[in-house]
Chains A and B, each alone.
Chain A
Amino acid sequence: VIRKYFWPICLVGLFLTSVLSQSCDLLYVHLNRVTWQNLKLLSHMSNPFPVECLKEKKAFELPQEILSHTQPVKRHIEEAFYEISSQVFNIFSQHACKSAWDEKHLKQIQIGLHQQVEYLERCLEEEEKERDRETLLNNLKLRRYFNRLGNFLKDKKYSQCAWEIVLVEIRRCV
């Protein structure tokens, strides 16, 4: 059961990039590629969606403006990705022991998330730009969003339906 509630790939895959890639220009390309790979894997594990869980679904109010492709500033996207990666990594690490996921898959995701976070940190440090107000605001919104997801799981006591709903919600990050 817990295996079905594997962390959504969008938070994981968004920040899973090739460890060999050190260029920030290739960041987005690698993120996109890895995201799709992880999404396919998790979708195979989570199908079919149980009909009885539909009554427990909830609006988590994902901030759409953060992940909008119309963002003019590239750095804002990078900052958002870094925040999302960190949050997913935290949630994934906290609740991994309560899951029934496959041990091999679990370690792979944790390693990938950790590397992605480190890569994003280096990329942001190279640019040597201070975070502006908009970036800080976006990060705050994302943290609140992920807090809602964590609280939902906690309230539902990490039930099957709760994990299924969270999985579907996190895919929206793509």
Chain B
Amino acid sequence: EKPCTLKITLRNFQSIFSWELKNHSIVPTHYTLWYTIMSKPEGMKMVEGCTNITRPFCDLTDLWNNMHETYIPRVVAFKGNTELVSCVDSIFLPLNMSFDPPDFEIVDSMGHINVIVKFPYNAPKISVDRLRRHLSLVIEQRSEEIVKKHKPKITGNVTGDFVYVLDKLIPNTNYCVSVYFEPKNLRAVIRSPLKCTLLPGLEPESSESAIIGGIVTVFLIATVFISSIVTLKRIGYIYLRYNLPDALVFFLHFVSWIFPEPPPLEAVDTVDVIYINRKKKVRDYNSDDETDSEDETAPRVSAGGYTRHGLITKLLTQASTSLSTSKESQLIDLDVGEDYLSEAEAEPPLVPEPSSGQSECASGPYDRRESELQDPFSEEDNSSTEGSGDRIIFNVNLNSVFVRALDNDDDGDVSPMLPEETVDLENPDEMESSFLIPREEGMPPPFPSTSEEHLESEDAPSEKSDSSESDVDIGDGYVMR
């Protein structure tokens, strides 16, 4: 194994022969270089200028200039007068010489970079010939992940600065440049350190004008778009919906449930208002109730399409009931629609649920309510209802109420739009015919028919007949019980 590593390098067009001891523990004081050539039967010759030197390299540009020759160098390391190490090797320049990258500078400009390769002004001729025959100058351009190689041809005398222009570059981009020699003998290259620069961007005026142009463009696009929509709407090509989708309506209801707002004075209840028109039959009730039921007025239709009704709630303190007063008051105070449904709860709103503890005189909310509905807008009614004290007045939107005018309704007390119903207040379970609901043809009646045993009123026969009868189909899907 060789005790030394011998290298020959072309550095700045100078042939520099260098050496390095592999055993770093050996520290010589000076070195001496000898060499010979293979083509002649000559012995070792000492190199002038490389005798007893402390530096580990020597310039042999003028001595080793034959590319066809094989040189045999010998380096002897001394410590004092003691020879420590002797290194011998064969050097074949085309095969063993490495090429250090040249010095260079980069100057950026608008859209291009000037690469200035610094060649010595007095480069040895042999080196120049060597460059042309055995080497290629490579200028490597790097930008992010893109690497581009330029191999400029060097013509004429290679002296002074050699300028190469990198053009077609992107402004506001960082470019790195490396310059090196690429031997034609497929030897490894030695790249120079990268020198990077950021190309300047566009002029400020051009950037500002670009911003202004962009704003104007966006404005024009928005104007064209809006005018197109308006034009299409006016000509009827598109129809913009003003009604909110059902999903959004549900969301709004959910939000309003969480954050309840006071209902507007004239707001229409959002619940389905089921209009009922019935005759109440109470066993122990006073005549007032019957009077009320008899005095039930026909609903009046306002100009806005609302049917005016009035509900008169009766306190059941006179009647024996299992219900507490608080519950009654609750029924009175609460909004009609909401209370109406709240009592029904999980049950279909049209089906009453027998509550435990209820007496025969009972207590369903349906039983307590008069069928008379009063128009809150009517002064007369108001005056009349004011005197009632327990009257609840609300507006009913006909669009949300399943009502239908009956042509053959002979009952004077019954609204021409609604069939008459009889409800036994003592048996709130009998809600079989309390409601008028739309029903598709062929479908079974939504409510189970109650047994006839619960009917105990004086009008039982007629009522029984009514209740015992099957559902009367009045046509168009409406069912009256």
Q: Which residues of A pack against B, CB within 8 Å?
A: 32-33, 36-37, 39-40, 43, 47-49, 51, 54, 57-60, 62, 64, 67, 69, 165, 168-169, 171-172, 174
Contact of A168 with B41 in the complex, beta carbons under 8 Å: no
Contact of B90 with A48 in the complex, beta carbons under 8 Å: yes
Q: Offer 13 A-B interface pairs, CB within 8 angstroms, sorted by A.
A: A33-B186, A36-B186, A43-B95, A47-B89, A48-B88, A49-B72, A49-B88, A59-B40, A60-B39, A165-B38, A169-B38, A171-B92, A172-B39
Contact of B184 with A168 in the complex, beta carbons under 8 Å: no
Task: Kindly identify which residue among A33, A40, A62 contacts B95, using a CB–CB cutoff of 8 Å.
Answer: A40
| Nearest CB in chain A to that of B86: its residue | A51
Contact of B36 with A54 in the complex, beta carbons under 8 Å: yes
| Majority secondary structure, B binding face | loop
Report the separation of the CA atoms of residues A69 and B90 in the bound assembly, to the nearest whole angstrom.
24
- A39 cross-chain contacts in B, Cβ below 8 A: 92, 94-95, 185
Residue interface mask B35-73, A partner, CB < 8 A = 1? 010111101000000000000000000000000111010
Given contacts A43-B92, A47-B89, A51-B88, whether A172 and B41 have CB atoms under 8 Å apart is no
Contact of B41 with A58 in the complex, beta carbons under 8 Å: yes
Given contacts A69-B133, A168-B70, A172-B68, whether A32 and B184 have CB atoms under 8 Å apart is yes
**6 additional A-B residue pairs with CB within 8 Å, beyond A57-B41, A59-B40, A169-B39:** A36-B185, A37-B186, A43-B96, A49-B90, A54-B36, A172-B68
Contact of A59 with B92 in the complex, beta carbons under 8 Å: no
How far is the CB of A45 from the nearest CB of chain B, in Å?
Answer: 13
How far is the CB of A72 from the nearest CB of chain B, in Å?
Answer: 17
**Is B22's beta carbon under 8 Å from chain A?**
no
- B38 cross-chain contacts in A, Cβ below 8 A: 57, 165, 168-169
How many interface residues does B have (CB within 8 Å)? 23
| Nearest CB in chain A to that of B37: its residue | A57
Contact of B90 with A36 in the complex, beta carbons under 8 Å: no
Contact of A54 with B72 in the complex, beta carbons under 8 Å: yes
| Nearest CB in chain A to that of B2: its residue | A48
- B88 cross-chain contacts in A, Cβ below 8 A: 48-49, 51
How far is the CB of A49 from the nearest CB of chain B, in Å?
Answer: 4
Contact of B68 with A48 in the complex, beta carbons under 8 Å: no
The 9 closest A-B pairs by CB, nearest first: A36-B185, A49-B90, A172-B68, A168-B38, A168-B70, A51-B88, A39-B95, A36-B186, A59-B40
Residue interface mask B107-122, A partner, CB < 8 A = 1? 0000000000000000
Report the separation of the CA atoms of residues A47 and B70 in the bound assembly, to the nearest whole angstrom.
13
- B186 cross-chain contacts in A, Cβ below 8 A: 33, 36-37, 40
Contact of A168 with B95 in the complex, beta carbons under 8 Å: no
Task: Kindly identify which residue among B43, B90, B184 contacts A47, using a CB–CB cutoff of 8 Å.
Answer: B90
Contact of A49 with B89 in the complex, beta carbons under 8 Å: yes
How far is the CB of A33 from the nearest CB of chain B, in Å?
Answer: 8
- B43 cross-chain contacts in A, Cβ below 8 A: 54
Report the separation of the CA atoms of residues A174 and B184 in the bound assembly, to the nearest whole angstrom.
13
Report the separation of the CA atoms of residues A67 and B43 in the bound assembly, to the nearest whole angstrom.
27
Report the separation of the CA atoms of residues A165 and B114 in the bound assembly, to the nearest whole angstrom.
50
How far is the CB of A50 from the nearest CB of chain B, in Å?
Answer: 9
- B92 cross-chain contacts in A, Cβ below 8 A: 39, 43, 168, 171
- A168 cross-chain contacts in B, Cβ below 8 A: 38, 70, 90, 92
| Nearest CB in chain A to that of B92: its residue | A171
- B95 cross-chain contacts in A, Cβ below 8 A: 36, 39-40, 43, 171
Report the separation of the CA atoms of residues A47 and B88 in the bound assembly, to the nearest whole angstrom.
11
- A47 cross-chain contacts in B, Cβ below 8 A: 89-90
Report the separation of the CA atoms of residues A69 and B89 in the bound assembly, to the nearest whole angstrom.
28
Given contacts A36-B186, A57-B41, A59-B39, whether A174 and B90 have CB atoms under 8 Å apart is no
How far is the CB of A148 from the nearest CB of chain B, in Å?
Answer: 13
| Nearest CB in chain A to that of B89: its residue | A48
- B133 cross-chain contacts in A, Cβ below 8 A: 69
Report the separation of the CA atoms of residues A33 and B94 in the bound assembly, to the nearest whole angstrom.
13
How far is the CB of B96 from the nearest CB of chain A, in Å?
Answer: 8
- A32 cross-chain contacts in B, Cβ below 8 A: 184
Report the separation of the CA atoms of residues A129 and B2 in the bound assembly, to the nearest whole angstrom.
52
- B41 cross-chain contacts in A, Cβ below 8 A: 57-59
- A57 cross-chain contacts in B, Cβ below 8 A: 38, 41
Q: Which of B1-56 contact A (CB under 8 A)?
A: 2, 36, 38-41, 43
How far is the CB of B209 from the nearest CB of chain A, in Å?
Answer: 54
- B70 cross-chain contacts in A, Cβ below 8 A: 168, 171-172
| Nearest CB in chain A to that of B70: its residue | A168
How far is the CB of A145 from the nearest CB of chain B, in Å?
Answer: 12
How far is the CB of B472 from the nearest CB of chain A, in Å?
Answer: 104
Report the separation of the CA atoms of residues A51 and B2 in the bound assembly, to the nearest whole angstrom.
12
| Nearest CB in chain B to that of A32: its residue | B184
- A51 cross-chain contacts in B, Cβ below 8 A: 74, 88
Report the separation of the CA atoms of residues A57 and B88 in the bound assembly, to the nearest whole angstrom.
16
How far is the CB of A141 from the nearest CB of chain B, in Å?
Answer: 16
Q: Which of A32, A33, A51, A60 neighbours the largest number of chain B CB atoms within 10 Å of its CB? A: A51
- A69 cross-chain contacts in B, Cβ below 8 A: 133
Report the separation of the CA atoms of residues A51 and B86 in the bound assembly, to the nearest whole angstrom.
11
How far is the CB of B137 from the nearest CB of chain A, in Å?
Answer: 18
- A169 cross-chain contacts in B, Cβ below 8 A: 38-39
How far is the CB of A153 from the nearest CB of chain B, in Å?
Answer: 16
How far is the CB of B457 from the nearest CB of chain A, in Å?
Answer: 117
| Nearest CB in chain B to that of A58: its residue | B41
| Nearest CB in chain B to that of A51: its residue | B88
Report the separation of the CA atoms of residues A51 and B43 in the bound assembly, to the nearest whole angstrom.
11
| Nearest CB in chain A to that of B40: its residue | A59
| Nearest CB in chain B to that of A46: its residue | B90
